[in-house]
């Protein structure tokens, strides 16, 4: 029952803006690893994240485009994404591979901070561990935030889109009525 409620809440919140920041920089901390991260929003629900991960015997740099799904409030999102990484492993030299990422983030309303937790499974090529499933937590500082003017402009744009859809629907109904009259 709770999964159904969660799904309904996700679909009801789709009209909310997915992210409340433009650019954010911060740190990531996980199991025996730490790193730096930069997030950049491109569209309302799409962003890209550049992640550097440091471990005792390796370094990795990943680029991950992500899709954000707003949930039960503004600034609270689920995200999923996929990308690639390159790096260096002490005993093996250069490595590369593919990454997935999934997690949850919260833009704190009164502060320019974004908190997130994620899992980033990675498939490595030329690496002693061909697969990893690390979890990390991050704290980011939002350098650029969405302005009130931008939010107002987005609301107006959504309103115009809704009006256009309604006009199209009215035209469809009139055509259907005309066709029904013509056939009879």
Co-location of 47 and 105 in the same domain: yes
**How far lies 37's CA from each of 129, 130, 163, in Å?**
23, 23, 40
In order along its 184 residues, the chain shows pLDDT tens digits of 455 544 444 443 333 334 567 889 999 998 888 999 999 988 878 999 999 999 888 899 999 999 999 887 777 889 999 999 999 888 778 889 999 999 999 988 888 899 999 999 999 887 777 888 889 999 999 887 666 777 788 889 889 999 999 999 999 999 999 999 988 8
User: What residues have CB less than 8 Å from 26, skipping those under 6 apart?
Assistant: 36, 37, 114, 138, 139, 140, 141
| Residues 6, 20 within the same domain | yes
Give the tokens for residue 33.
Answer: 């690893």
Give residue 22's domain range. Answer: 2-146
Kindly state whether residues 7 and 88 are assigned to the same domain: yes
Tell me the CATH number at 98.
2.40.160.20
Residues 56 and 138 in one domain: yes
Looking at the fold, whether 101 and 159 belong to one and the same domain comes out as: no
Query: Quick one: 180 and 112 in the same domain?
Result: no
Please state the domain count of the chain: 2
């Amino acid at each position: 029952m709770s999964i159904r409620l969660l799904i309904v809440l996700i679909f009801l919140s789709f009209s909310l803006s997915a992210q409340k920041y433009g650019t954010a920089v911060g740190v990531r901390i996980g199991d025996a690893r730490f790193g730096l991260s930069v997030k950049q929003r491109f569209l309302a629900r799409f962003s890209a994240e550049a992640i550097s991960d440091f471990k005792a015997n390796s370094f990795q740099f990943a680029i991950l485009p992500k899709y954000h799904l707003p949930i039960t409030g503004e600034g609270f999102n689920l995200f999923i994404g996929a990308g690639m990484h390159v790096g260096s492993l002490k005993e093996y030299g250069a490595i590369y591979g593919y990454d997935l990422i999934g997690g949850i983030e919260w833009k704190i309303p009164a502060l320019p901070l974004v908190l997130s937790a994620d899992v980033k499974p990675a498939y490595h090529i030329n690496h002693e561990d061909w697969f990893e499933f690390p979890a990390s937590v991050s704290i980011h500082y939002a350098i650029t935030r969405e302005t009130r003017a931008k939010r107002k402009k987005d609301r107006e744009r959504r309103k115009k889109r809704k009006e256009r859809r309604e006009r199209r629907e009215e035209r469809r109904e009139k055509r259907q009525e005309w066709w029904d009259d013509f056939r009879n």
